[in-house]
Structure 1
C-alpha cells in the first residue's frame, strides 16, 4: 500500500481524510536566519535513524508563519520571554533570592535546553527542563513549584531555551539515558487510542503530506516551548504530546510523566543536530 493510501486508511472516519492531499509537498528550501545567525533546519540523520535527512518543523510552515519566527520583534512568544526576564530578577520564596542571585545573567544557562531531558542522578531518571526549574524553585528559593503549563513556567522555559538558540540538540544517549530513550522509542511506535495510531504513522510514514490545512512535519521538538496559533499562545512539548493523543482518541499521559519524559528523550535523540529554535512559531 502506498503512503498516501495508508494515510487515507488511517484517517478514514476521523474527519481528517477529506483534506488529505494526493501528493503533499516536502519541506521548502528556505533558510532560517534570526538576528543574523543561520540556524540548522536540515541535517543528515544520526546513525540508525529511520529517516535519511531530518528537517525542522519550520521548513513545513507557510511563509507568513516562518516570517514571525525570523523576526524577534514580530515573534508573539517574545512577550513571554520578557516576562521570564522579570521572573529571573524577582526574589521569591523563603530565601528571598532571585534566579539571578545564584546564576547571574540568564545567558549563563546557554546550552542547557539543547541537552534536555537531562539525567538526574539523585532522582534516578531524566528530568525535563520544567522538572529542573521546579526543583530550583523549591530547593533554592523555598517557593511553591509552578504548574507545568502556567504562564510562569512557559515564560521561564522560553527564556532559558532562548539562550540555546542556534545550538544543536545534543541529548545524552549513553549510560542510563539509553534505557529511557529505548522506552520512548517503544511508545513512539505503539498504536493507541480508538483510532489505533502511533506517532510514526504521521511523522515518519506520511511527513510532507497535507491533512486539511496541516502540512505534516517530521515531528521534531527543537522549538519548544512553541507559540501555536491553535493555542493562541505558548505551550509546552508535553501539551503537544497530550493533544496528539487526544486527536487519536487516546487517554493522554500526564505532563511530566515518565512516559512523556521518555518520549521527549527519544525525540531529542531523533532530532540530534538540528538547531534549538526556542521559542518557535507554528500553526
Structure 2
C-alpha cells in the first residue's frame, strides 16, 4: 500500500491537486514583484556569487565545476528538480547542497563547507536557479521509496512540547493563521531562499529547524538523514510545481 502511494506521489499532479498553493501565491503583490524583479531580488546576490564559484578553479589545482560539468546554464538545468538523489558511495540519499559539497571534497580536494555558509548557499542557489520555472520531478529510483516513507512518517508524527505534526499545520490548517502569520501548504519550491525575517539567504534545513523549534522539539542536524527523508517526501508532495529559486518569503 505504501509503495502504491509513493508511486501516486511521483505521478504528475491530477486535477484534484490544482488547488495547491506555494508561498509565492500567498505573498502580497509587492513581495511577488520583488521576487520577480531581475535586479531587485536580493537572493540574486547569492546566485551571482555561486556563478563565480562555479567557474573558478580551486587552489588545489583541480578543475573548476565548469571544467568538469560544462556551462552551468546547460549542465545544471533540471538538476535541482530531481534532488534529493541517491549517492552510491554513501549508500543513502543526499540533498543538493550535500551533493555539491561532496563534489568539492571528492573531486576538488577542498574541505567541507558549513551547511549555512554563504559559500554553500551561493553554489546551491546558482545550481537551483538553472532549474527556475521547471517542474519538480522527484527521482524515481526505488531505493528512495523507503526514505520517502520515513519522510511521510516525520511529516505526520506529533512532536515537541506542543505535540504538533507538520501535517496538522500544513495540511489541515493551511490557509489559516498562526497569530498574524499565514500558514502555508509548505511546498519547498524556492529554496534556498531570501527570508525577510532572517535578512539573509537560508536553506530548507534552516526552515525545518525553525518549525521544530516553534513546536518546542529538538531540531535534527543540517543535512541529517531525517531532513533528507523529509525533503524527499515534500518534493514528492510538490511534484509538478515549478521551481522558483531564489524565492522571497516574509
Task: Name the counterpart of 2:40.
Answer: 74
For structure 1, list consecutive stretches of 5 or more residues without a partner in the other structure.
1-43
How high is the TM-score relative to the length of structure 1? 0.81
2: CA distance, partners of 1:241 / 1:228: 14
Task: Name the counterpart of 2:129.
Answer: 162
Query: Map of 1:36-47 to 2, 5 A cutoff?
Result: 46=13
Alignment match of 2:28 (pick from 35, 44, 62): 62
* Counterpart check, 1:102 vs 2:89: no
For structure 2, list consecutive stretches of 5 or more residues without a partner in the other structure.
1-10
Contact 1:146 1:152 in 2 (8 A): yes
Query: Map of 1:183-198 to 2, 5 A cutoff?
Result: 183-198=150-165
Task: Name the counterpart of 1:199.
Answer: 166
* Counterpart check, 1:147 vs 2:114: yes
Contact 1:173 1:269 in 2 (8 A): no
* Counterpart check, 1:136 vs 2:103: yes
1:222 Cα offset (Å)? 1.0
Please say which of residues 85-94 and 239-248 is displaced more in the overlay.
85-94
Task: Name the counterpart of 2:224.
Answer: 257
* Counterpart check, 1:230 vs 2:178: no
Contact 2:152 2:230 in 1 (8 A): yes
Q: Map Cα deviations across residues 76-102 of structure 1 (whole Å, 9 max, x no partner).
A: 101111111111122214234321211
| Residue aligned with 2:220, SS | coil
Contact 1:45 1:54 in 2 (8 A): no
1: CA distance, partners of 2:24 / 2:129: 16
2: CA distance, partners of 1:101 / 1:174: 28
1: CA distance, partners of 2:149 / 2:18: 20
| Residue aligned with 2:207, SS | helix
1:213 Cα offset (Å)? 2.8
Q: Map Cα deviations across residues 143-195 of structure 1 (whole Å, 9 max, x no partner).
A: 11111100000101110000000110011245111100000000000011010
1:131 Cα offset (Å)? 1.2
Contact 2:62 2:107 in 1 (8 A): no
How high is the TM-score relative to the length of structure 2? 0.91
Return the structure number with greater helix share. 2
1: CA distance, partners of 2:226 / 2:29: 35
1: CA distance, partners of 2:46 / 2:233: 27
Task: Name the counterpart of 2:214.
Answer: 247
* Counterpart check, 1:266 vs 2:211: no
Report the count of equivalent residues. 238
Please say which of residues 261-270 and 69-78 is displaced more in the overlay.
69-78
Query: Map of 1:79-98 to 2, 5 A cutoff?
Result: 79-98=45-64
| Residue aligned with 1:202, SS | helix
Query: Map of 1:110-129 to 2, 5 A cutoff?
Result: 110-129=77-96
